[in-house]
Every structure is written in structure tokens, then in C-alpha cells.
Amino acid sequence: TKTFPPHTLFCSAFKLVEANYKELREAILFLKESCVMTNVVEMKVNLHCDECIRKILKAIKKIEDIETYDVDTQLNKVTVTGNVTDEQVIKVLQKVRKTAVKWDQANQTLFPN
């Protein structure tokens, strides 16, 4: 039988573990990305001037994991898609002193802000 020095065995075992670790890490990242839920959040926000729109866009861009966003000035509607909740959008809009409520097709009246 052939014997190997301990460091050779250790290095071989380390390389095997390292290769498997890289594969496992890639699999975990793939699963994590595929499990991200895409939500569509639609909010009614009073968009009365360009400065308001600028502040709203700046605030929305800070939300993590968003895919798209849109501001419709005619409908006073803000739409955000991605791994985001209604509460997250409302919270960032409150930070720029904007009131936001969930979009409701039946209730399209303006509110003060």
C-alpha cells in the first residue's frame, strides 16, 4: 500500500470541500433569486408639482429589490414592482411627507397633501 504525507491528504480534502462549497453557494444563490416574489404595489399619491415627483422618485429608488417604478401624474398613481410591500412604499413616501393609500379603482378622488 502507498502512504501519503498528511499535508497532501489535507490539501486534497480541502480542495474537494472548496469545490463543493462553491457549487453549494451557487445553488443557494440561484434558489434565493428564484424565490424572490415579484409584487405590484399601486398607490394613490397627490402629485401636484415637479418637486413632489422628484422627491417621490428619489425615495422610491432607495427601496431595495425593486424592479420597476412608474409615476402617472394624470392619475396621481405610483406603481412599484419587485420584492416590495405596500407598507414599504407607504413608509418611504411618508419620509418625504407624502400621503399614500392603496390604489382603488372605485375611489379615484384626490386627497390633500
* Largest separation between any pair of C-alpha atoms in the chain: 87
pTM over 0.85: no
- Determine the 3-state secondary structure of 88 from DSSP: helix
pLDDT at 113: 44
pLDDT tier for residue 28 given thresholds of 50, 70 and 90: confident
Average pLDDT over residues 15-36: 74
Residue with cell 401636484: 48
Is 80 exceeded by the pLDDT of residue 53? yes
Each residue's pLDDT tens digit, 63-86: 988 989 999 999 999 999 998 999
Cell numbers that stand for 22 in this block? 462553491
Average pLDDT over residues 19-28: 78
Task: From residue 7, give the alpha-carbon distance in Å to each of 10, 15, 21, 25.
Answer: 5, 12, 20, 26
pLDDT tier for residue 43 given thresholds of 50, 70 and 90: very high
